[in-house]
């Protein structure tokens, strides 16, 4: 079983505003609402790929209840705990004329450690050896910076594999527990190592530092510049696909979903890579944070170019 963990979920409200201009009156052309948060996005993508997952979430107030309804509408199995306050709403402004997306993200509720511990304990009662747990996104206010590290250590004791996709201090602490896979983008990797990564050689060296920490698989996404997929004994560069962009929300989450799917199904590594790049490309072709169309993914996966290079 695959479990996704979203400790700071959101309702993603996406507004299409052609010619968006700050400080002026702007007219919304179209709007949509989706269940959001990185782990939830991963679960939606896994469902599109035809595999089951359980979305573990912290919900708060009336917006939390509405988010739960959106999750039910998506047909996602959930495991939730309740907290005080209100689940956040994130506004995504899409200006197709300028080709720009602007994210306005709320901080979300303060979550007490006892609430998080309750969710962790409930998850641990269900996890069995060989399961995959995906820890994604920002920590809620009130959570300790080492939350992902402690949770990774706990899941490892149960025989589960852990994938971490986070940023800042949450990522810096999380990698200390050597999750089985991490997926930073190049900016997140720059912040993690606190050093400029302005060449592919520097990015690869940074990826090697993570492998040296005991992490089995490092996936570095670079937007239109493609991505690196690294294991200790082998590595690949994959080129990005040229597709029409509707929204970049959830693109990285779709890559994580594809890699988790490949890990669960024990797919050959190059097949995992092609699926991941195709999922990312198909994701940006969608509006909002909805999952990509699987037939589009299948078509795009056959177009992905990968290049192997020696490791070690």
Residues labelled catalytic:
253
Write down the residue that tokens 């070690």 correspond to.
312
Q: How many CB atoms lie within 10 A of CB 101?
A: 18
Q: Which residues make Cβ contacts (< 8 Å) with residue 97, sequence separation at least 6? A: 18, 19
Q: Which residues make Cβ contacts (< 8 Å) with residue 197, sequence separation at least 6? A: 186, 189, 190, 203, 206
Cα 217 from Cα 89, distance rounded (Å) = 33
Judge contact between 247 and 254, C-beta under 8 A.
no
β-partners of residue 161 are: 132
User: Integer distance in angstroms from the first to the last C-alpha of the chain?
Assistant: 32
Q: How many CB atoms lie within 10 A of CB 258?
A: 30
Q: What angle do CA 180, 184, 186 make, to 5 degrees?
A: 145
Cα 82 from Cα 140, distance rounded (Å) = 13
Q: Report CA dihedral (41, 111, 138, 212) to the nearest 10 degrees.
A: -110
Q: How many CB atoms lie within 10 A of CB 103?
A: 11
Judge contact between 18 and 53, C-beta under 8 A.
no
Proportion of the chain in helix, strand, coil states, percent, rounded to 5: 40, 25, 35
Cα 151 from Cα 145, distance rounded (Å) = 11
């Amino acid at each position: 079983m695959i479990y996704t963990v979203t400790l700071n979920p959101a309702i993603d409200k996406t507004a299409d505003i052609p010619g968006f201009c700050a400080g002026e009156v702007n007219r919304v052309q179209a709007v949509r609402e989706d269940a959001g948060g990185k782990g939830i996005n991963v679960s939606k993508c896994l469902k599109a790929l035809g595999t089951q997952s359980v979305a573990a979430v912290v919900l708060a107030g009336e917006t939390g209840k509405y988010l739960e309804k959106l999750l039910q509408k998506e047909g996602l199995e959930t495991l939730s705990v309740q907290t005080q306050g209100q689940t956040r709403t994130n506004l995504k402004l899409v200006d197709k004329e300028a080709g720009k997306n602007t994210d306005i993200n709320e901080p979300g509720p303060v979550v007490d450690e006892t609430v998080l511990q309750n969710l962790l304990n409930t998850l641990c009662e269900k996890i069995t050896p060989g399961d995959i747990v995906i820890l994604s996104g920002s920590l809620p206010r009130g959570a300790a910076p080492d939350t992902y590290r402690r949770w990774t250590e706990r899941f490892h004791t149960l025989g589960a594999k852990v994938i971490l996709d986070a940023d800042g201090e949450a990522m810096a602490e999380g990698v200390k527990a050597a999750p089985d896979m991490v997926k930073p983008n190049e900016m997140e990797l720059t912040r993690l190592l606190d050093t400029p990564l302005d060449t592919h050689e520097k990015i690869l060296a940074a990826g090697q530092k993570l492998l040296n920490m005991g992490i089995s698989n490092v996936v570095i996404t670079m937007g239109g510049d493609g991505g690196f997929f690294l294991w200790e004994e082998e590595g690949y560069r994959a080129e990005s696909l040229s597709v029409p962009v509707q929204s970049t929300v959830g693109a990285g989450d779709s890559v994580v979903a594809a890699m988790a799917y490949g890990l669960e199904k024990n797919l050959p590594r190059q097949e995992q890579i092609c699926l991941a790049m195709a999922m990312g490309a198909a994701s940006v072709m969608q509006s909002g944070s909805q999952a990509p169309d699987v037939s589009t993914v299948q078509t795009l996966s056959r177009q992905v170019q990968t290049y192997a290079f020696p490791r070690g």
